[in-house]
Amino acid sequence: MITTSTAKRVNLTNREKQVLQAIADGKSFHGAARELGMAYETVHSHTRNIYRKLKVRSRMEAIIFAYKEKVIE
């Protein structure tokens, strides 16, 4: 689940939040793309944007930040 207070602070779009949640749930980029009905390249693009906005360099850093800051649950 995505919370609004921290999500607004980090300024993620709704789709970026959905991608981040899917990745945190253990989905691969291809799995997230299938689940969210978008192309692999779109998921990859959203992920790059998420990393930039969260100021992280990896999937694991993004997930840890998101849980710690309650961006996702």
For the chain, helix, strand, coil in percent to 5 are 70, 5, 25
Give the three-state DSSP class for 58.
coil
Q: Is the pLDDT assigned to residue 19 strictly greater than 50? A: yes
Q: Does 27 map to a domain?
A: yes
| Reported pTM | 0.84
Q: Which long-range contacts (CB under 8 A, 24 or more apart) does 38-44 make?
A: 43/19
C-alpha torsion 3→39→31→35, nearest 10: 60
Task: Please count the structural domains in the chain.
Answer: 1
Q: Does 59 map to a domain?
A: yes
Kindly report the CATH number assigned to the domain that includes residue 20.
1.10.10.10
| Contact criterion met (CB below 8 Å) for 40 and 30 | yes
pLDDT attached to residue 15 = 95
pLDDT attached to residue 2 = 46
Q: Does 35 map to a domain?
A: yes
- Tell me the residue range of the domain where 54 lies: 4-68
- Model confidence at 72, pLDDT cuts 50, 70, 90, reads confident
